[in-house]
Structure 1
Amino acid sequence: MRSNPPANPYFPVVILWSGLTLIPAAIYLGGLSLFPWLELSSLKAQLLYGLTSSGTAPYGVLTVLAMQLACYWLLPRNQLAPLLFSVGLAMGLSLGLNHFLKPYFGHPRPNVQLLAETQGLSIIDFYRADNSKRHSMMAQEMAKLADETELSLSPKIAQHWQDEVGYSFPSGHTLFAVTLALVVSYFLLAAQRFLFASLLCLWALAMGFSRMLLGMHWPQDVLAASLLGGLIALLALLFTEKWRAIG
């Protein structure tokens, strides 16, 4: 038998959402740019790459499965089906919206902007090319990177730059992390699993920082993704609760 929900079950999620948007909003409004602050061959950069990989295909699927497995042990059994439904709905909405918004806005990534400023890469020609050609152009530019700039990249981060050649706005990794963290936290908070919910939100916040520090996204990309992630999470949760009420 399911217990009665609290009067406003979404309020804790809104509070967490506010926290996830506050820091990127402060960075954006303060006119700060976190790239290229970090030496991208350092241990810190490689740890950030490991973090960002948790939102990169196909590892993002493993992240979702790991969270579902953790919730299997942390949540009452009658919460698992609504959790699966809401996570699936939220992930589908976030992927679809991200796929539409990136080409619609067409903003270049910070690393592409850097290559344009330091090595003369044509941003227009780069984004007019298909993905396979972009991969080749990025590899050619990165071969000259160490000679023409002081920036050095670890092999994994260099490969990440070559793989991620799409547009910048919004941050798909941040959208994935914020949406997933807020949806799962809704059920964790209802079960009074406050520590795990807090850790999930810290992971989502760190995801945004990793994207900015690795040169993949601007602060406005992360801010927009955080705002959209909260909206998608709330929409999925509202729909799930309507479904539960009908059932």
Structure 2
Amino acid sequence: MPAFKKAIRSIVNWSLSPKRFEFMAIGVLTTLIGLMILVIPTPDLTSALSNTLGFILDDLTMSAGQEGFLYTTVLLCLLPLIFRLPLPRLFEVYAKFGMLLVLSFVLKTGMKHITEVPRPYTLQLSQSELVDSPETFYAQDAIQRELIIESAQDIFSPWRLKHWEGETNYSMPSGHTIFVAICVMFWGGFLLAQQQKTLMALLVFWGVGVGFSRLWLGMHWPLDVMVSLVCAASLNLLVPNVTAPNWISRITFKKSRA
């Protein structure tokens, strides 16, 4: 047991210094999304969405949803390969990113069950007299919820209804925003460390766009989005830095000598 503890301590540590770029990245994202929430008015969910705006918002939200998060993850995980990081560093980067992703999913799922905050569109459904109240909506089973949303086709934009039908669970926190925040925080920090400020700015722009799409489609309240950002930053405090075990370094050394 002492040997096991020693081995664990040799590959993990909770020093904040290596995380400074990650906190800078999440700080920039949080500031910009906060400003966006203050400046942009609350969307009218009964308003029409042009096909252009609907297409953009649809693509943004899907890039962080079930349809596209895997592609986004793979694309971001190519960055260390593009910058030709050595094998030990690859292990460290992927191990920590993997821990952040898994823990963010667990945290998001648990918090939704605890908070049980209705999504914004459920309030709009009740105001349109399609359901008595948001609580009544959530008292239905999944199939009945989708039927209620389908009955609103003449009132709301199909760009919005598409996402309402696909996500009838609770609102807080925003899983899309947590995923985006983890990606921007971790990979934005990685890019800052590599002095790739332009790529980092593009990543932040994507993150702000996803946050905007969640609000404009009626999927989340502003507080949901901000709580998600805080959750991501908190996870970064808790998740340790990873140091590659010695056997990986030895593999790299042998390859360099071959």
TM-score in same-fold range (> 0.5): yes
* Greater mean deviation of Cα atoms: 35-44 or 220-229: 35-44
> Secondary structure of 1:119's partner?
coil
Distance 1:139 1:170, change over 3 A: same
> Secondary structure of 1:9's partner?
helix
Distance 1:12 1:37, change over 3 A: farther
Give the corresponding residue for 2:158: 153
- Does structure 2 retain, via aligned residues, the 8 Å contact 1:178–1:229? yes
CA drift of 1:164 comes to 0.9
Give the corresponding residue for 1:111: 121
Distance 1:221 1:71, change over 3 A: same
> Structure 1, residues 43-84: CA drift from partner, whole Å, max 9, x if none?
112211101101111421111011112331135234321121
CA drift of 1:197 comes to 2.0
Structure number with greater Rg is 2
Are 1:180 and 2:183 counterparts? yes
CA drift of 1:194 comes to 2.2
CA drift of 1:181 comes to 1.7
The TM-score normalised by the length of structure 2 is: 0.79
- Does structure 2 retain, via aligned residues, the 8 Å contact 1:52–1:211? yes
> Structure 1, residues 109-167: CA drift from partner, whole Å, max 9, x if none?
11111111122413222112222322222222x23xx2xx4x4334xx43222111111
Give the corresponding residue for 1:202: 205
- Does structure 2 retain, via aligned residues, the 8 Å contact 1:74–1:193? no
Distance 1:234 1:200, change over 3 A: farther
Give the corresponding residue for 2:3: none
Q: Tell me, in whole angstroms, the C-alpha distance in 2 between the residues paired with 1:11 and 1:108.
A: 35
> Secondary structure of 1:10's partner?
helix
Are 1:84 and 2:83 counterparts? no
- Does structure 2 retain, via aligned residues, the 8 Å contact 1:21–1:226? yes
Matching residue's letter, 1:43 = T
* Greater mean deviation of Cα atoms: 190-199 or 162-171: 190-199
CA drift of 1:29 comes to 6.6
Q: Tell me, in whole angstroms, the C-alpha distance in 2 between the residues paired with 1:179 and 1:35.
A: 29
Number of residue-to-residue matches in the alignment: 230
Give the corresponding residue for 1:72: 81
Give the corresponding residue for 1:226: 229
189, 194, 198: which one aligns with 1:191:
194
Quote the RMSD (CA, aligned, Å).
Answer: 2.6
CA drift of 1:16 comes to 2.1
CA drift of 1:169 comes to 0.9
Alignment of structure 1 residues 16-27 onto 2, 5 Å:
16-26=25-35
**Which structure 2 residue ranges, 5 or more long, are not aligned?**
1-15, 247-258
- Does structure 1 retain, via aligned residues, the 8 Å contact 2:172–2:220? yes
> Secondary structure of 1:198's partner?
helix
- Does structure 2 retain, via aligned residues, the 8 Å contact 1:102–1:168? yes
**Which structure 1 residue ranges, 5 or more long, are not aligned?**
1-6
- Does structure 1 retain, via aligned residues, the 8 Å contact 2:173–2:224? yes
> What's the % identity of the aligned pairs?
27
Are 1:214 and 2:217 counterparts? yes
- Does structure 2 retain, via aligned residues, the 8 Å contact 1:39–1:45? no
136, 155, 162: which one aligns with 2:147:
136
Q: Tell me, in whole angstroms, the C-alpha distance in 1 between the residues paired with 2:213 and 2:65.
A: 12
93, 96, 99: which one aligns with 2:109:
99
Q: Tell me, in whole angstroms, the C-alpha distance in 2 between the residues paired with 1:234 and 1:204.
A: 20
The TM-score normalised by the length of structure 1 is: 0.82
54, 61, 85: which one aligns with 1:52:
61
Distance 1:23 1:189, change over 3 A: closer
- Does structure 1 retain, via aligned residues, the 8 Å contact 2:22–2:190? no
> Secondary structure of 1:136's partner?
helix
